[in-house]
Amino acid sequence: MSYTPPGQDPYGQQPDPYAQQPQQPNPYGQPQPPAQPYGEQPGLQQPYAQPWGGAPVKQTNGLALAAMIVGIISIPSACCALLGVAVGAAAAIMGHISMKQIAQLGQSNRSQALTGVICGYVGVGLGILNGIAGLALNLNGGFGSF
């Protein structure tokens, strides 16, 4: 290990890694114009950026959303036969009304209305099947008669 006298940097002066490198001429092409220190000239750029023109947003139908929610609820509520039929019928009716409104007003959530109609009919069908199964089991004396 060598001794360094006080006041001298033992590692020497390091070059600044962030300093601007000197411009060297391009040996292969035309000479480059000198770079502007602060970007483009003020007169050459647009004063304000132009906003992106997005597509207009279509309005949605609230009844279609309600039909979808009620239709989804009607499927598990078909465990109780009358409740499944009533809730499913309400969802199907709301879905049909909202599909008509969407077609007239040009709204965007037709798929929600269609989901409400389909789930409503499934809820009605499951409620009817549950009612028929309940009546059949009740007439035969239930599960204990086997």
CB 124 within 8 A of CB 92: yes
Q: How far is CA 122 from the centre of its chain?
A: 27
Residue 7 lies in a domain: no
The answer as to whether 146 is a domain residue is no
For the chain, the domain total comes to: 1
User: Quick check: is 82 in a domain?
Assistant: yes
Q: How far is it, in rounded angstroms, from Cα 100 to Cα 53?
A: 30
The pLDDT profile of the chain, 146 residues, written as one tens digit per residue, is 566 666 666 666 666 767 776 666 666 766 666 666 665 555 555 556 666 666 677 789 999 999 999 999 999 999 998 999 999 999 999 999 999 999 999 998 999 999 999 999 999 999 999 999 999 888 877 666 55
| Within a domain: 52 | no
Q: Residue 23: inside a domain, yes or no?
A: no
Q: Is residue 14 part of a domain?
A: no
Residue 6 falls inside a structural domain: no
pTM (two decimals): 0.58
Q: What is the pLDDT of residue 130?
A: 94
Task: Judge whether 123 lies within some domain.
Answer: yes
Contact 105, 59 (CB under 8 A): yes
Domain that holds residue 116: 62-141
Q: How far is CA 47 from the centre of its chain?
A: 34
| Pairwise CA distance, residues 134 & 79, whole Å | 10
Q: Residue type at 61?
A: N
